[in-house]
Chain A
Amino acid sequence: MPAVSKGDGMRGLAVFISDIRNCKSKEAEIKRINKELANIRSKFKGDKALDGYSKKKYVCKLLFIFLLGHDIDFGHMEAVNLLSSNKYTEKQIGYLFISVLVNSNSELIRLINNAIKNDLSSRNPTFMCLALHCIANVGSREMAEAFASEIPRILVAGDTMDSVKQSAALCLLRLYKTSPDLVLMGEWTSRVVHLLNDQHMGVVTAAISLITCLSQKNPDEFKTCVSLAVSRLSRIVSSASTDLQDYTYYFVPAPWLSCKLLRLLQCYPPPEDGAVKGRLVECLETILNKAQEPPKSKKVQHSNAKNAILFEAISLIIHYDSEPNLLVRACNQLGQFLQHRETNLRYLALESMCTLASSEFSHEAVKTHIETVINALKTERDVSVRQRAADLLYAMCDRSNAKQIVAEMLSYLETADYSIREEMVLKVAILAEKYAVDYSWYVDTILNLIRIAGDYVSEEVWYRVIQIVINRDDVQGYAAKTVFEALQAPACHENMVKVGGYILGEFGNLIAGDPRSSPLVQFNLLHSKFHLCSVPTRALLLSAYIKFINLFPETKATIQEVLRCDSQIRNSDVELQQRAVEYLKLSSIASTDVLATVLEEMPPFPERESSILAKLKKKKGPGAISVTELEDSKREGGELNGGSDRGPDTAAMSASNASTPSPSADLLGIRSAAPINAAPAGAGSLLVDVFSEAGPAAPSTAVNDDGFLRFVCKNNGVLFENQLLQIGIKSEYRQNLGRMYLFYGNKTSVQFASFTTNVSCPGELQSHILSLISEVIASLSS
């Protein structure tokens, strides 16, 4: 159909647009545009004042050129002039221009605000709407300053027309979002809530968006909206399709309004009032029931509108998380959608179920759909749908299905889109760690990850597997064996070499007995990959080699040969060169004892939060709230390496096994080790002088050898301990200054009375050390 313009067609504009479309090349287009710009410029500068129509036409042309993608640096003044015209279309074009080409010139802003103010006070609803639209479109700070107090007044005034109220509500919303400090709560706030009861559905539709946003920031102020929203929703849901006339959309009553009402209710917890709550539950049940009824129309618009309400209702049910019956029904409904013909519905069902999976009421119900979801992962043609399926598997994973889900995710990873691989790797790593009962399965999974998607296995993942293998005795042998086998593949990923190098370096001795993995075989295997690796990996391998020298003296000659060669000790990379030289020297001059001490097995790593989780959260970004919640629930149960205490732990550490505090913060574990209770004041009397063995006058000269050694080598630790008392020390030294804190822990259940301490510098030390001893500070009870 030929383009006919209604009302007044601007012929010149149409001709110009045709010209542009007829241009055969970009250069021709630019030429034509420049010609027009010159024309318009001369007309604007001309001595003859332009009439409104021409001005409108030229401003519109400029707008068109701008929207094509070219820069416009004039015309603002003329556009602003149009605002003061009495002709509606001229005003309209003027407003459109300044909304699209926002200018920060203060003089222009002043004029614009003036024009808007005039239109707002004109009492002409069409002009008022134009002005309000402009403010909503631009929403600048200057406009907020000028109008933030006026607009609420317009909104709630009794004589404002409905169409103006609608625009005012959304205009105020825009201002509130961009300049919340300028929109002050006032008398108007309670009247705004009552707009929910307005008889004009359009006013309600517009007002509710405003109320939703305000409620999020000031929930108490607006909480009366909940009951009003429920009754409004209830009226809509139970209405016949003819009741709402033009607000019925393809046989669905007021779908937009229904969705908005359900959204508003998600800003608040379930209503406390029993009657309101009952009505709401009834509403939700009606919506769920309607989904099962045969559709009133075959058109996709009907089903989209109906399902939009359904999905929003399910969101509300999930948000409340308190009605088990509704949650299970919601889950079943979503389960049906999982296999729907329409891709959109399958996508939304997978997405919605993800949130449902984290609710304790429906978690089990969600799990029943695991086969469908796995099938979706394998067979869906749309990658976005497959990704939702992967997300859902992650969310529904728990101890009972972890192995199955991890296996499915691994096989999906083999063919997954590159853009999602890194996230998948992180998720598989998290699941494998969290639900590992048998850690050899965990090691297998991570090694598989490296094999399948090595490029996307970030450092955090392979650091973690090493940390876990180091900390768990029971899996070290298995890890060594598996990694050895994995390295035998002709082309293995560099990350595999890193992990393999480290593990064999630490635990290669556990498999050295078997002739197929004898020390030399292990070394040759690692060294065969050496030249293929990057510098950091090679550095790691060099460290593994020196560990081999310690573990397997028979390999010393071979390895030294390697270290000695020019490509190592004269390597252009400083780190490699240094390592080669130092390791070579170390292996030559150190006695076996020293070597063994230096290259002792790595101590277990302290407990800390998995950095993998942190990385996943960072990837997901601030928007994905539901994912973070899932992570929290996943984190709680993850108790890793519980109960394995080995290595040179201080006595205090092994005593404090109950919780896992970070050692450096909790001073020497005194608080957790000593079962002190705040003894009531009356129980202060000592039955015996418990320290009588020590003798009152003479300071104890018994040298605690063990404690002395510890004191010499360590800054922090337990100096002395017996059944009654634990003495701990924390010291720091800086050049010639040192500070020591001595802590006395009461291990009995009664308070010490008359407890004094005496610190002395005997003999020679007195002249060497200038000591300042302060008094015992107040005792701490735990």
Chain B
Amino acid sequence: MMQFMLLFSRQGKLRLQKWYVPLSDKEKKKITRELVQTVLARKPKMCSFLEWRDLKVVYKRYASLYFCCAVENQDNELITLEIIHRYVELLDKYFGSVCELDIIFNFEKAYFILDEFLLGGEAQETSKKNVLKAIEQADLLQENVDFQTRLFAGVMVPGLASESSGLFQN
């Protein structure tokens, strides 16, 4: 099973943290710090897997974001790489050409999408269509009930173009 997933920027800013094992806040912070440092130190041509403590870490960079998963020793590394890819595809479909900014400003949605895809550290639904259907259904439910539409005006932060580049453009 996956023990945790971390998304962080090249500056080491954590954008998403999903923990599938019970750990204290202090331990989580320590693990995050160490792992972020280890992964950021890797050079581009190195392989996507590394052994860290007693776990295997599978990571991949999409534009400005590192997606990093820690799995157990008997887990399949390649399929974990594809779990990461599938998650990015889901985000991409939902947000339309997703970029880091989307995940920053709609962090709660990133968690909701993840929960439809993975649960308890295991893949729950591997059909892209079904996952997106579930998310959209929930959104529809809300729009039906809540008639006050509040559109967000899209605030851009100047000078940080990397965060607005689509994740699939490398």
**Interface of A toward B, CB cutoff 8 Å:** 1-11, 14-15, 17-18, 21-22, 53, 60, 63-64, 67, 69, 71, 86-89, 92-93, 96, 126, 129, 133, 136-137, 139-140, 163, 166-167, 170-171, 173-174, 177-178, 201-202, 205-206, 209, 246-247, 249, 254-257, 259-260, 263, 301, 304-305, 307-308, 311-312, 343-344, 346-348, 381-382, 384-385, 387, 621-625
13 contacts between A and B (CB under 8 A): A1-B166, A2-B156, A3-B154, A4-B154, A7-B143, A8-B146, A11-B153, A14-B152, A92-B138, A170-B122, A307-B78, A382-B45, A382-B46
**Which chain A residues lie closer than 8 Å to B95 at the CB level?**
1
A3-B105, A96-B112 in contact; A18/B157 too (CB < 8 A)?
A: yes
A255 touches B79 (CB 8 A): yes
A63 touches B154 (CB 8 A): no
B97 touches A1 (CB 8 A): yes
**Which chain A residues lie closer than 8 Å to B51 at the CB level?**
384, 387
Question: Which of B76, B122, B137, B157 contacts A126, CB < 8 Å?
Answer: B137
A87 touches B142 (CB 8 A): yes
CA distance in complex: A108, B1 (Å) = 30
A173-B120, A311-B76 in contact; A10/B150 too (CB < 8 A)?
A: yes
B47 touches A136 (CB 8 A): no
A3 touches B102 (CB 8 A): yes
CA distance in complex: A256, B145 (Å) = 37
**Which chain A residues lie closer than 8 Å to B105 at the CB level?**
3, 5, 14, 17
Residue in A closest to B136 when the chains form the complex, CB atoms:
A6
CA distance in complex: A266, B140 (Å) = 43
B46 touches A384 (CB 8 A): yes
Question: Which of B22, B48, B102 contacts A344, CB < 8 Å?
Answer: B48
Q: In terms of DSSP, what is the predominant structure of the interface of chain A?
A: helix
**Which chain A residues lie closer than 8 Å to B119 at the CB level?**
133, 136, 166-167, 170-171, 174, 206
Question: Which of A4, A140, A205 contacts B124, CB < 8 Å?
Answer: A205
Let me know if B123 is at the binding interface, CB within 8 A.
yes
CA distance in complex: A64, B108 (Å) = 9
Q: Mark B96-122, 1 if CB is under 8 A from A, else 0.
A: 110101101111110110010001101
Residue in A closest to B137 when the chains form the complex, CB atoms:
A126
Question: Which of A22, A384, A624 contacts B50, CB < 8 Å?
Answer: A384
A1-B97, A255-B79 in contact; A621/B104 too (CB < 8 A)?
A: no
A209-B122, A308-B76, A308-B79 in contact; A2/B154 too (CB < 8 A)?
A: yes
A623 touches B120 (CB 8 A): no
In the complex, the 9 A-B pairs of residues with the closest C-beta atoms, listed nearest first: A2-B154, A9-B152, A308-B78, A308-B79, A343-B47, A170-B119, A174-B120, A3-B105, A209-B122
* B residues 129-149 touching A (CB-CB < 8 Å): 129-130, 134, 137-139, 141-143, 145-146, 148-149
CA distance in complex: A162, B134 (Å) = 12
B154 touches A259 (CB 8 A): no
CA distance in complex: A3, B157 (Å) = 11
A11-B150, A623-B54 in contact; A256/B127 too (CB < 8 A)?
A: no
Min CB–CB distance A122 → chain B (angstroms): 13
Min CB–CB distance B41 → chain A (angstroms): 11
**Which chain B residues lie closer than 8 Å to A129 at the CB level?**
134
A205 touches B125 (CB 8 A): yes
Q: Mark B39-59, 1 if CB is under 8 A from A, else 0.
A: 000000111111100100000
Min CB–CB distance A428 → chain B (angstroms): 20
A96-B108, A206-B124 in contact; A15/B81 too (CB < 8 A)?
A: no
Min CB–CB distance B76 → chain A (angstroms): 5
Min CB–CB distance A53 → chain B (angstroms): 8
**Which chain A residues lie closer than 8 Å to B48 at the CB level?**
344
Min CB–CB distance B138 → chain A (angstroms): 6
Q: In terms of DSSP, what is the predominant structure of the interface of chain B?
A: mixed
**Which chain B residues lie closer than 8 Å to A139 at the CB level?**
22, 120
Query: Most chain-B Cβ atoms within 10 A of its Cβ — which of A3, A177, A254?
Result: A3
Not counting A8-B143, A71-B25, A304-B82, a sample of 6 additional A-B residue pairs whose C-beta atoms are within 8 angstroms of each other reads: A1-B99, A6-B139, A202-B127, A246-B129, A256-B79, A308-B79
CA distance in complex: A3, B155 (Å) = 7
B96 touches A384 (CB 8 A): no
CA distance in complex: A92, B166 (Å) = 27
B127 touches A11 (CB 8 A): no
**Which chain A residues lie closer than 8 Å to B74 at the CB level?**
263
A202 touches B124 (CB 8 A): yes
Let me know if B128 is at the binding interface, CB within 8 A.
yes
A201 touches B99 (CB 8 A): no
CA distance in complex: A263, B123 (Å) = 14
CA distance in complex: A126, B17 (Å) = 24
Min CB–CB distance A318 → chain B (angstroms): 12
Min CB–CB distance B143 → chain A (angstroms): 6
Query: Most chain-B Cβ atoms within 10 A of its Cβ — which of A137, A257, A307, A381?
Result: A137
**Which chain B residues lie closer than 8 Å to A96 at the CB level?**
108, 111-112
A344 touches B47 (CB 8 A): yes
Let me know if B85 is at the binding interface, CB within 8 A.
yes
A167 touches B124 (CB 8 A): yes
CA distance in complex: A60, B112 (Å) = 13
Q: Mark B61-100, 1 if CB is under 8 A from A, else 0.
A: 0000000000011101111011101100000001111010
CA distance in complex: A301, B79 (Å) = 10
CA distance in complex: A312, B76 (Å) = 7
A9 touches B151 (CB 8 A): yes
**Which chain B residues lie closer than 8 Å to A53 at the CB level?**
146, 148
**Which chain A residues lie closer than 8 Å to B49 at the CB level?**
344, 347-348, 384
Let me know if B29 is at the binding interface, CB within 8 A.
yes
CA distance in complex: A6, B105 (Å) = 11
Question: Which of B17, B81, B151, B155 contacts A67, CB < 8 Å?
Answer: B17
Question: Which of A7, A67, A249 contacts B126, CB < 8 Å?
Answer: A249
Min CB–CB distance B163 → chain A (angstroms): 9
B76 touches A305 (CB 8 A): no
A11 touches B152 (CB 8 A): yes
**Which chain A residues lie closer than 8 Å to B120 at the CB level?**
136, 139, 170-171, 173-174, 177, 209
Query: Most chain-A Cβ atoms within 10 A of its Cβ — which of B82, B83, B164?
Result: B82
A348 touches B78 (CB 8 A): yes
Min CB–CB distance A483 → chain B (angstroms): 37
**Which chain B residues lie closer than 8 Å to A381 at the CB level?**
45-46
Question: Which of A10, A163, A205, A249 contacts B82, CB < 8 Å?
Answer: A249
Min CB–CB distance A124 → chain B (angstroms): 9
**Which chain B residues lie closer than 8 Å to A14 at the CB level?**
105, 152, 155
Min CB–CB distance B62 → chain A (angstroms): 13
A202-B124, A206-B122 in contact; A87/B152 too (CB < 8 A)?
A: no
CA distance in complex: A71, B29 (Å) = 12
**Which chain B residues lie closer than 8 Å to A11 at the CB level?**
150, 152-153
Residue in A closest to B58 when the chains form the complex, CB atoms:
A344
CA distance in complex: A352, B28 (Å) = 31
CA distance in complex: A257, B151 (Å) = 40
A343 touches B45 (CB 8 A): yes
CA distance in complex: A745, B167 (Å) = 83
**Which chain A residues lie closer than 8 Å to B99 at the CB level?**
1
Min CB–CB distance A28 → chain B (angstroms): 15
**Which chain A residues lie closer than 8 Å to B54 at the CB level?**
621-623
Question: Which of A15, A259, A311, A347 contacts B155, CB < 8 Å?
Answer: A15
**Which chain A residues lie closer than 8 Å to B102 at the CB level?**
1, 3
Question: Which of B1, B86, B104 contacts A3, CB < 8 Å?
Answer: B104
A11-B150, A21-B157 in contact; A343/B46 too (CB < 8 A)?
A: yes
Query: Most chain-A Cβ atoms within 10 A of its Cβ — which of B14, B48, B128?
Result: B48
